[in-house]
Chain A
Amino acid sequence: MKPIRPKLCLRHQLAILCAALGLAAFGASTAKADEAAAAPVEPAVAATTVAPAATNDLAALLAPLANANFAEKEAVAQKVAVSGHPNARPTLAAFLDGKLYARSSDGVVVVAEAVEGGEESLALTDPVTQKSLGTEPAEGLSKIGTNNSLRKSLKNLLAQIALTDPDPAVRLSAVKESMRALDETTVASFRATLAAENDTKVKRAIEVGLALADLESPEADTRLAAVRALDGELAPEVHNRLTTLVTPAEDGTLAEPDERVRLAANAALDNINFWRSVYGAAETMFFGLSLGSVLVLAAIGLAITFGVMGVINMAHGELIMLGAYTAYVMQLLIPDNHGLALLLSVPAAFLVSGAFGVAIERGIVRFLYGRPLETLLATFGLSLILQQLVRSVFSPNNRPVSIPEFMSGVWQVNDALALTYNRLYILVFSLMVFAALVAVLKRTPLGLQVRAVSLNRPMARAMGVRSAFVDAATFGLGAGIAGIAGVALSQLTNVGPNLGQAYIIDSFMVVVFGGVGNLWGTLIGGMSLGVINKLLEPYAGAVLAKILVLVALILFIQRKPRGLFPQKGRAAEGH
């Protein structure tokens, strides 16, 4: 046992480094998520006190909403937006969120929100004064519905108001939102706010908007200056506008008559296209790593049971599924706080799936060591039993697991690159799980015993290792990790009885590709399969990409039957 230790040092350090990096990234992105979540809330709190004269105006404006059609509602929204009333903004925001209701008793328009604990009644707020109006049962309220076009114009109106918000982040998103529908009023309000703007980012965004407007100018010099101002901007609006500028129409006429402007636009476009393709590649890489991280999470438990113990566990997918169902049950137990429920379901799923794992090992697998075919059949049967179990206990239908606030949304790095938080978290999470697992195997007495038993069972037993206990613990560990993977998957895919089946093949693929018995192989193998898949997908489509990966894998196994990182040593080769 002793000689193994010094060899591990470098790997061990890497693992710690990995974990530290993972944690740092996790902290950073959480902070960003909080910022993003906090920003839009602020304005709603800002305006509260209102002069009585203005009160009546807004109330009168809102009154017709109760019986209006969508076109009339849009007209009302527009009037509210230009009324200059301090509470126009929270009212429109409530309208957009579908929180505006008409009270049946007196037809007054109110903002209603669900109260915690109270299922049937809603808490009312007066949109005009933003003061509470008590609660009202849901039957006494009729919702003022919105449709897509109404929501679109509401968003636009809110963006116009938000141009003068004190928070620069809100102003920035308002400018970007208004830029999508650039008309004369928007341009006018852009010009009005530009001088007073002191935040550089917002200023730049407004300048881009104005430059886009300037492209319509009859003066060639103005247009030229506008094109130069747009150089390096990655927003799709800029790209589209410049493209139409330089692309000749079908009859050969040019949208831009001036040669200089065309040349400048072409140069700017080349630059923009270059950066867009760079960020596009980064995005593909991220997608690949994210898919890879899911594969690693699903496979890493198997890497222990199959890789270290040599047990072909066909019920591995069902252990993942049990973890996902644990996340669902935790959400039922803590219905008010989905974030907390999800965090708690990580240890809970580890325990649930781990317990199942130990039971499987003690009840079935231990009688079948050394008989892989029988193990395969027995665990396959078990997988069917487990599937039927959840069908009977829960239902054959998929169960909904909601995504907590901090997991949803997107981290807009720049106009050309956006990373979704749920994928980002799961990427980091899988690295953390991996690091923790490596630490357990390399640092704890259990890990030492596991490695000893897997390398040479009789020798380990001769040294006093209780191999039966170690087998159960190892299998339980692998199963528990599968459960944790299930929690992560519950955020990405459907939680249903068939969840596990979708991942069992992929998991075996990753373990075999990476090299049986090597955790690092699983990590590298999973990540590279993910990236290769995503690189192929744009050209081959989702179906063909997967087939190509499988074929490539088969060819690879022909060349290197022991995978990327084969286990070395006398014991391993003697298998």
Chain B
Amino acid sequence: MTISNSLARRMLGGAAALALLGAAQIAQAADTIKVGVLHSLSGTMAISETTLKDTVLMMIDEQNKKGGVLGKKLEAVVVDPASNWPLFAEKAEQLLVKDKVAVTFGCWTSVSRKSVLPVFEKNKGLLFYPVQYEGEESSKNVFYTGASPNQQAIPAVDYLMKDIGVKRWVLAGTDYVYPRTTNKILEAYLKDKGVKPEDIMINYTPFGHSDWQSIVSDIKKFGSAGKKTAVVSTINGDANVPFYKELGNQKISAEDIPVVAFSVGEEELAGLDAKPLVGHLAAWNYFQTYSAPANSAAIKTWRAFTKNPKRTFNDPMEATVIGFKLWVEAAEKAKSVDVDKVSESIIGLSVPNLTGGTATMLPNHHITKPVYIGEVREDGQFDIVWKTDKEVPGDAWSDFLDGSKDIEADWVKLKCGNYNTKTKKCSGQNY
């Protein structure tokens, strides 16, 4: 008797609590707009992705101070996919189906993006992806605010070829999809420019590789053939540290064989002794050292938000900021946060980027970006040595790869992410 009685009471209490919770949620949902944040907060990618979560939170905070969007406050829904690719899809599903977020900012690695892509397409979600990537993709439900290869890799190679006079190329990368695709594009591009196959050396190493002695020695030998040599590095993560250390040890200086990296930025250099790296290059669309009023203001806000006067600002963070601003403008313009309406109104919108230019959303869901080349300084920051005259429009499908040359993405006229201009057909998405 007593048992069932207490049980009943507990159940009643539970139901009441649930009802209250539900009511609170409904009340909240009525005057806030939910923004999903899908970045790994634990695991191997946490080092890079946690910063982006904080960037989104900062932007939401700033926007709410200005009165929110369409008169409603923004509310962040932060989930942790834990650097686990299948978990990304699960968490994305949760954000879209359970939390019903209006927009999601998230993903870093290409494999995590590929994992959530079907979820966003199925549930008609909206994802802003803020990291430089290998291209060869354009989804109706994703906006890519990071660089595609023609906004980072190709201009960097052009710089080395024209300004430094590089004749021999080492394409060194970590063994996964981004370096392999980028190097395939670069190889095709270099051959297109008349570089002979024997002047290109391609090398892949596993994640976290630490024994670089024979590879660096090979690079040294390859580079001592009398032609100016450069290394184009798509080496990712902490394998970079022993790589640069070994370069320093074997006395390969940046003057002899410069290394231009696509994945080494301020955040990566903040944790290590940058002395052996001085003079080596990085290609990005943003550098913290760029002097522009918008940049100093953003860095100041960021440092105040994180309460750390030495926090660094980097390229994917700028891309997050741009993506966020674009979404806010598009929502204001469409007078709605409905995914279809925002996706329509965002095309052609321009917002100022942090280096004094503008970022315009193109019909292929990529944006215009300036390209900068920086030389590493002793303090882990970059001296900008070269930049493009104006912003470069992002190209979803590389013009240098067979099979990708004829494909075009246009969500306004063609309403297709991979329209084949030869067969005049849209093949639909293939992930």
Task: Please report A residues at the B interface, Cβ cutoff 8 Å.
Answer: 98, 145, 147-149, 151-152, 155, 236-237, 240-241, 244, 283-284, 287, 290-291, 294, 396-400, 402-403, 408-410, 418, 420-423, 492-494, 496, 498, 502, 534, 537-538, 541-543, 546
In contact, B208 and A418 (Cβ under 8 angstroms):
no
In contact, A502 and B210 (Cβ under 8 angstroms):
yes
Q: Which residue of A lies closest to B378 (CB)?
A: A98
Q: State in angstroms the CA–CA spacing of A398 and B241 once bound together.
A: 10
Tell me which residues across on chain B come within 8 A of A541, comparing CB atoms. Answer: 203-204
Task: Please report B residues at the A interface, Cβ cutoff 8 Å.
Answer: 44, 46-47, 164, 175, 203-206, 208-211, 213-215, 217-218, 224-226, 238, 241-242, 245-246, 248-251, 253-255, 258, 271-273, 278-279, 375, 378, 383, 385
Q: Which residue of A lies closest to B270 (CB)?
A: A397
Q: Which of B204, B210, B241, B385 contacts A147 (CB 8 A)?
A: B385
Can you list 17 A-B contacts with CB-CB less than 8 angstroms, sorted by A residue number?
Answer: A145-B383, A147-B385, A148-B164, A148-B254, A151-B255, A240-B225, A241-B226, A284-B214, A287-B213, A287-B214, A397-B271, A398-B271, A418-B251, A421-B249, A493-B242, A543-B175, A543-B205
Known: A152-B255, A237-B226, A494-B242. A423 touches B250 (CB 8 A): no
In contact, B205 and A400 (Cβ under 8 angstroms):
no
Q: Which of B47, B164, B245, B255 contacts A397 (CB 8 A)?
A: B47
Q: Which of B208, B213, B225, B279 contacts A420 (CB 8 A)?
A: B213
Q: Which residue of A lies closest to B254 (CB)?
A: A148
In contact, B279 and A396 (Cβ under 8 angstroms):
no
Known: A400-B273, A410-B251, A542-B204. A492 touches B214 (CB 8 A): no
In contact, A147 and B383 (Cβ under 8 angstroms):
yes
Q: State in angstroms the CA–CA spacing of A421 and B248 once bound together.
A: 12
Interface centre among B205, B225, B245 (most CB of A within 10 A): B245
In contact, B209 and A542 (Cβ under 8 angstroms):
yes
Q: State in angstroms the CA–CA spacing of A127 and B261 once bound together.
A: 36
**Apart from A151-B279, A236-B224, what 15 extra A-B contacts exist at CB < 8 Å?**
A241-B226, A283-B217, A396-B47, A397-B47, A398-B241, A400-B271, A400-B272, A408-B248, A418-B250, A422-B249, A496-B238, A537-B215, A541-B203, A543-B205, A546-B206
Q: Which residue of B lies closest to A397 (CB)?
A: B271
Tell me which residues across on chain B come within 8 A of A284, comparing CB atoms. Answer: 214
Tell me which residues across on chain A come within 8 A of B241, comparing CB atoms. Answer: 398, 493-494
Tell me which residues across on chain A come within 8 A of B164, comparing CB atoms. Answer: 148-149
In contact, B217 and A287 (Cβ under 8 angstroms):
yes
Q: Which residue of A lies closest to B278 (CB)?
A: A98
Closest 10 CB pairs of A and B: A236-B224, A240-B226, A493-B210, A152-B255, A420-B249, A494-B238, A400-B272, A542-B205, A400-B273, A287-B214
Known: A398-B241, A398-B271. A423 touches B213 (CB 8 A): yes
Q: Which of B175, B250, B255 contacts A148 (CB 8 A)?
A: B255
In contact, B210 and A148 (Cβ under 8 angstroms):
no
CB distance from B151 to the nearest CB of A (A): 23
Q: Which of A244, A410, A542 contacts B215 (CB 8 A)?
A: A542
Q: State in angstroms the CA–CA spacing of A562 and B161 once bound together.
A: 56
Q: Which residue of A lies closest to B248 (CB)?
A: A408
CB distance from B174 to the nearest CB of A (A): 10
Q: Which residue of B lies closest to A408 (CB)?
A: B249
Known: A145-B383, A396-B46, A543-B206. A410 touches B255 (CB 8 A): no
CB distance from A262 to the nearest CB of B (A): 19
CB distance from A154 to the nearest CB of B (A): 9
Interface centre among B206, B214, B218, B238 (most CB of A within 10 A): B214
Tell me which residues across on chain A come within 8 A of B246, comparing CB atoms. Answer: 420
CB distance from A421 to the nearest CB of B (A): 8
Q: Which residue of A lies closest to B175 (CB)?
A: A543
CB distance from B375 to the nearest CB of A (A): 6
Q: Which of A240, A409, A493 contacts B224 (CB 8 A)?
A: A240
Q: Which of B208, B249, B253, B254 contacts A410 (CB 8 A)?
A: B249
Tell me which residues across on chain B come within 8 A of A502, comparing CB atoms. Answer: 208, 210
Interface centre among B47, B238, B273, B375 (most CB of A within 10 A): B238
CB distance from B384 to the nearest CB of A (A): 10
Tell me which residues across on chain B come within 8 A of A546, comparing CB atoms. Answer: 206
Tell me which residues across on chain A come within 8 A of B383, comparing CB atoms. Answer: 145, 147
Q: State in angstroms the CA–CA spacing of A169 and B73 once bound together.
A: 71
Q: State in angstroms the CA–CA spacing of A421 and B385 once bound together.
A: 33
CB distance from B274 to the nearest CB of A (A): 9
Q: State in angstroms the CA–CA spacing of A409 and B250 once bound together.
A: 7
Tell me which residues across on chain B come within 8 A of A402, comparing CB atoms. Answer: 273
Q: Which of B205, B210, B255 contacts A492 (CB 8 A)?
A: B210
Q: State in angstroms the CA–CA spacing of A287 and B106 once bound together.
A: 42
Tell me which residues across on chain A come within 8 A of B205, comparing CB atoms. Answer: 542-543
